[in-house]
Amino acid sequence: MKAAAFDYLRPASLGEALALLATHKDDCKILAGGQSLVPAMNFRLARPAILIDINDLDELDHLRADAGQLKIGALTRHAAFHRPVVEGPLGTLLAKVVRHIAHYPIRQRGTFAGSLSHADPASEWCLVATTLRAEMVAKSARGERVIAASDFFHGTFTTALEPDEILAEIRLPIMTPDWRVGFYEFSRRAGDFALGMAVAAAKVEDGTIREARLGVGGVGDRAIRLGALEDQLVGTPASSDVIDSIDRIAREARGMIEPSGDIHASPEYRRDLIAASVKRALTEALA
Amino acid sequence: MNWIGRRLPRLEDPALLKGGGSYVADRASKAAAVCFVRSPVARGTIVDIEIPSDGIIFTGRDLVDVKPIRPILHRPDYVAIGQPVLPVDRVSFCGQAIAVVVADDPALAEDVAEQVFVDIDVADAIIDFEAALALDATPVHPDAASNVLVEGRMRTQGLDKAFADAAEIVTLDVRSHRQSAAPMENRGGLAEYDAASGRVTLTASVQMPHMLRTGIADTLGMPESDLRVIAPDVGGGFGQKMSLFPEYVVLVWLARKLKRSVAWIEDRRENLLASAHGRDQAFSLRGAFAGDGRLLGLDADLRSNIGAFSCYPVTCGVEPLMAFAELPGPYDFAEYGVRSRGVTTNTCMMAPYRGVSRPTLTFSMERMMDVAAKRLGIDAAEIRRRNLIKTFPHRSPTGLVYDEGSYLQAMEVALDAADLPAFRERQAAMRERGQYLGVGLSVFSERTGYGTPAYAARGMEIVPGYEIVDCSMDPSGDVVLRIGSSPHGQGLKTSLAQLVSDELGIEPQRIRIISGDTDATPYGWGTFASRSMVIAGGASKLAAGKVAVKLKTIAATLMETSPDNIELKDGWARVSHSNQAMEIGALARAAYHQSHRFKGLLPGLHESAVYDPGGTFSNACHVAMVEVDIETGGVRIERFLVAEDAGVLINPMIVDGQITGGVAQGIANALFEEIVYDDTGNLLTASFADYLPPTAAEIPEIEIMHMETVSPESVTKAKGVGEGGAIGAPAAIVNAICDALSPFGIELFELPATPQRIREALRRAGVATYA
Ligand SMILES: Cc1cc2nc3c(=O)[nH]c(=O)nc-3n(C[C@H](O)[C@H](O)[C@H](O)COP(=O)(O)OP(=O)(O)OC[C@H]3O[C@@H](n4cnc5c(N)ncnc54)[C@H](O)[C@@H]3O)c2cc1C
């Protein structure tokens, strides 16, 4: 379990990094927190000829609220979210979610952007980005582009990023105080990847749901936004009778997914977990 | 001051906690790195092995003079099979070492290993042992006629009558899936060649250093005196590190062949793939119960998957024959029929793992008791009360003699502490709210500290059991104890020091214990089977006792009294009823430097003792309280109680550590860990992402209570306590899960009870999650 030989480069500026990426393209890999890449290299499942370490790039080390968005620079570690990073529901939700990502030491190194770039279908941040409609800012020597979450994830471990691109920043819409949020995850052990999970959020005005977000992860090849169920929630009164609709929505969620099976969870079991997760996330948000 | 019974902080810990421990890998940095090329398939014929031209690589063809590892049981039903250290013609399980690479560092060794191309003509592998038992199954080993390599059978005369008389016959099929002991430190060895003497020193993470030396010497055909085996600090073993593995033979062979030092540090993938597994068992039980709940007779068909080879020295009989002999457990019944088979398959070898068969057999018996209780309308505790052993010594249907224990009392103590009436109230209230709590019991016996008679009874060619201890006090009055046993992390040195302190009247800090070095310790059997405290402890006490006698004689001579009047305590030899006293150090000096004064005594203070006991039974009751989430199948353990009787506790803190660690592995067994192969014998759980040892977050506080039955079968009055935690916990937890799910009539008989399996059972019972 030792990595195959590779060259290691540590650019001092973003410009230099982008130039290296443009030169080496498929032969190189970006090293961020290393918490997914390094194990894969040790198993020799990943064999990049060149590693480009981005940890010195101050341009990528930021986390700020700006014009209604939370802007998460590529070097923002998971641990940054242990305490709410913005006031209001978004900060609360991220602080709740982050505790389900791996273990404390891993959270000190692993990055938000690394999780999205890696695109594990059971990644919590991928679910959050998908459900809350994040925008990804990709940079290359060719320029910059903004990719919507719905276009970013292409499948297990694959994204819209080109080999010469770096995911420089993620932008999450900041929720106003009238949003309510919920999250539920089922995993075998503390810190394991989810076998099933759901994020729910609803904007409630005058006792009625005006806007809703609902997404599930840990099933299929990427996180899934359940748009049709979001639509059903809109207009529903957020009072005690919401319980009945939550049960109905949980039931419908099971039918909207096509999970695959593995040794830890058969497709049928994953449906159970998704139904339970949807119900619990919604209940936390609304009931 | 008495040292026995004190929660003395472990003398080992300051070094271990400050990074001062010394494990094999800490010592291996200067040696060349060894990497094994392993079979990618479970079964096939080796057509060709293409090796790159640059690189130091050896295959089975280079080691044809090395004998196979071939442990023997002298039983008519045992079929001996050999395990080649590197195979020449065929591979028998996925992960079997087939070539070895030596390079300057581990990464380079892996680079070369990747270029070794193995052409194997793949055959259909037999993975599942029920398939291996099919009449038309191809034998896994061409030289064995069937796949049953060992079979124990017995049937008492009155068994049929017991079934004829039964008011209720309970039938159950229990399945325990395969597990790995998953020690924190994987295997590893460093073989150093000494050019001056031609000797090799093998430093290895093992539990039986002396046995390893014999085994390697026999296999390589070299004198034992040319090999020194050292077990340095060992990061857990739990049985996995008892066996003679091909890798260690190859390391010594390489050091002699290349005349250089070589090291192999196993990685986790190799450990899960190719070290040893256990607990892959299927037990079918039929219990004949009288109307009042008394168990009249038991008929059992027990199958254990022993993998591709027989482990040395204990053989593949270790699980099947343990199950055969100990299934009756803590229950008093006379009629017993059993057929217990060890079945070979194309999977990684089975070797002892903490508890050996007893987790599965306790699970089987305790599930049976609960099912019988429900059918007969008797309370789960009550049916046990009616069946537990109450008179001693007790003779089991298989002829085992149980010394005095506290089977019934331990259960009552645990039940009291659990406060069942309050629990039942809470359970009922929570059920109203759709929350499912359950409580489960597990009562069991743990046979510990058994010497040669028990192993001889199994027909082992190599009969382990005794321990030899050399105890010497130096002229300053400090003690060195050389033990044949070999601790692997359990704090044995502290416990032995406490024991010896009380014999000699000096502080434990003045006692140094030397273990795990075949050049420096008497021949011994190492650590396994909950034996070290009882047997090495017994020999230590006896050897130290002899030194104490000598000290008293010297003291009596110097102070002109009789030895009977001397008491050794707190560093002094005191004459009773007087204020005369001498420091023990002064006596020691006299023993060496004034020996002419002591007529009839040999000079110095050096004594040796052997202890070879018949064995003693510990016992315990575990109580688990769990909550089952019926929508996800998740299980949360609310409380876990243990009432344990291990006789006199030398160091209660260390005993509690043994119980807690054992229960943690039992929880792993109950809920988490499972080795999974696909149909072709490819391992699907080759890392801790898929093989799931629980973390601290999944282990609750373990509440421990002690009983203290003093047994004449142990000179230290201590009984063994190494395995009980792991033995009892799975049954208690699954019984608790079934109690929680009793409104749905669910009974589970499979380990581990994973969330997926629990949901499956609920789904079958019509409990849907929003379907
Ligand atoms: C034991 C363990 C448990 C874990 N459990 C979880 C869990 O429960 N949930 C979870 O979500 N994750 C889990 N992880 C993964 C962890 O969160 C990783 O930190 C994360 O997936 C990757 O982030 P990283 O910064 O470490 O990326 P790296 O490992 O450095 O890189 C991962 C991949 O992304 C690429 N990459 C990284 N940054 C960028 C960038 N800015 N632009 C373009 N490409 C980039 C790399 O080239 C590489 O291909 C676990 C990891 C371990 C070891």
Domain A7-53 - what CATH class? alpha beta
- Note the pLDDT tens digit of each residue in A185-201: 999 999 999 999 999 99
Question: By C-alpha distance, which of B36, B37, B46 is closest to B122?
Answer: B46
Ligand 1 closest atom vs CA A168: 41
CB neighbours of residue A147 within 10 Å: 18
pLDDT at B1: 63
B338: in domain: no
Ligand 1 pocket test: pick from A106, A124, A145, A264 the residue with the most ligand atoms within 8 Å of its Cβ. A106
Same domain, B647 and B545: no
Same domain, B583 and B639: no
Break chain B down into helix, strand, coil percent, rounded to 5. 30, 25, 40
Same domain, B602 and B700: no
B728: in domain: yes
Q: With a cut of 70, say whether residue A150 has pLDDT above it.
A: yes
Three state DSSP letters for B387-444: HECCCCCEECCCCCEECCCCHHHHHHHHHHHHCHHHHHHHHHHHHHCCCEEEEEEEEE
Decide the pairing of beta strands B200-204 and B227-230. Answer: parallel
- Residue that finishes a domain, picked among B245, B265, B285: B265
Q: Please give all residues whose beta carbon lies within 6 A of any atom in ligand 1, as ranges.
A: A 29-37, 39, 74, 101-102, 106, 110-111, 113-115, 117-118, 120, 123-125, 161, 166-167, 191-193
Give the gap in angstroms from C-alpha A219 to the nearest C-alpha of chain B: 15
B161: in domain: no
Distances B573 to B242, B550, B555, B584 between C-alpha atoms, Å: 42, 12, 7, 6
- Residue that finishes a domain, picked among B594, B611, B628: B611
Same domain, B246 and B387: no
Answer yes or no: are the C-beta atoms of A160 and A154 closer than 8 Å.
Answer: yes
Q: Which fold has domain A58-173?
A: 3.30.465
Contact check, Cβ <8 Å, A263/B763: no
Residues spanned by CATH 3.30.390.50 within chain A?
A: 179-286
Question: By C-alpha distance, which of B616, B710, B660, B697 is closest to B491?
Answer: B660
Domain count, chain B: 3
B602: in domain: yes
- How many residues does the structure list for chain B? 771
| Distance separating alpha carbons of residues A153 and A257, to the nearest angstrom | 17
Confirm or reject contact between A266 and chain B (CB < 8 A).
Answer: yes
B508: in domain: yes
Same domain, B495 and B581: yes
Gap from CA of A106 to ligand 1 centroid (Å): 9
Q: Which residues contact B157 (CB under 8 A, 6 or more apart)?
A: none
Give the gap in angstroms from C-alpha B468 to the nearest C-alpha of chain A: 40
Option in A191, A264, A276 nearest B756 (CB):
A264
Pick the CATH number of A179-286 from 2.40.40.20, 3.65.10.10, 3.40.50.12780, 3.30.390.50: 3.30.390.50
Same domain, B23 and B105: yes
Q: How far is CA B86 from the centre of its chain?
A: 27
For the question of whether the overall pTM of this predicted structure is more than 0.90, the answer is: yes
Same domain, B503 and B590: yes
Ranges of residues in chain B whose predicted pLDDT is under 50: none
B339: in domain: no
Q: What CATH code is carried by the domain that includes residue B261?
A: 3.30.365.10
Ligand 1 pocket test: pick from A96, A101, A170 the residue with the most ligand atoms within 8 Å of its Cβ. A101
Q: Is B636 helix (H, G, I), strand (E, B) or coil?
A: strand
pLDDT at A238: 85
Break chain A down into helix, strand, coil percent, rounded to 5. 35, 25, 35
Answer yes or no: are the C-beta atoms of B83 and B246 closer than 8 Å.
Answer: yes
- Note the pLDDT tens digit of each residue in B200-225: 999 999 999 999 999 999 999 999 99
Q: With a cut of 80, say whether residue A241 has pLDDT above it.
A: no
Helices B358-376, B380-387: inter-axial angle, 10-degree rounding: 110
Q: Is B33 helix (H, G, I), strand (E, B) or coil?
A: strand
The two structure tokens encoding residue B582: 């001498």
Question: By C-alpha distance, which of B253, B284, B278, B389 is closest to B328?
Answer: B389
Same domain, B601 and B630: no
Considering only CB atoms, which chain B residues are within 8 Å of A266? 756
> Cα Rg for chain B, rounded, in angstroms?
27
Q: With a cut of 80, say whether residue A240 has pLDDT above it.
A: no
pLDDT at A47: 97
The two structure tokens encoding residue B635: 């299980």
Residues spanned by CATH 3.30.465.10 within chain A?
A: 58-173
Interface confidence, given as ipTM, is: 0.96
B191: in domain: yes
Q: In chain B, which residue's Cα lies nearest the Cα of A273?
A: B632
Domain of B754 in residue numbering reads as 358-452+615-764
Considering only CB atoms, which chain A residues are within 8 Å of B107? 2-5
- Note the pLDDT tens digit of each residue in B542-587: 999 999 999 999 999 999 999 999 999 999 999 999 999 999 999 9
Question: By C-alpha distance, which of B731, B758, B730 is closest to B746?
Answer: B758
Ligand 1 pocket test: pick from A1, A9, A36, A153 the residue with the most ligand atoms within 8 Å of its Cβ. A36
Same domain, B517 and B605: yes
Q: With a cut of 90, say whether residue A31 has pLDDT above it.
A: yes
Contact check, Cβ <8 Å, B697/A43: no
- Note the pLDDT tens digit of each residue in B64-97: 999 999 999 999 999 999 999 999 999 999 999 9
pLDDT at A244: 83
Considering only CB atoms, which chain B residues are within 8 Å of A195? 755
DSSP B159: H
B292: in domain: no
Same domain, B597 and B669: no
- Residue that finishes a domain, picked among B611, B640, B665: B611
Angle at B623 between CA B621 and CA B627, to 5 degrees: 165
Contact check, Cβ <8 Å, B695/A272: no
Same domain, B578 and B700: no
Gap from CA of A39 to ligand 1 centroid (Å): 10
Buried b (16+ CB within 10 A) or exposed e, A214-244: bbbbbbbebbbbbeebbebbeebebeeebee
Question: Strands, DSSP E only, in B220-326?
Answer: 227-230, 262-265, 281-289, 295-307
- Note the pLDDT tens digit of each residue in A40-65: 999 999 999 999 999 999 999 999 99
Confirm or reject contact between A1 and chain B (CB < 8 A).
Answer: yes
Three state DSSP letters for B88-123: CCEECCCCCEEEEEEECCHHHHHHHHHCCEEEEEEC
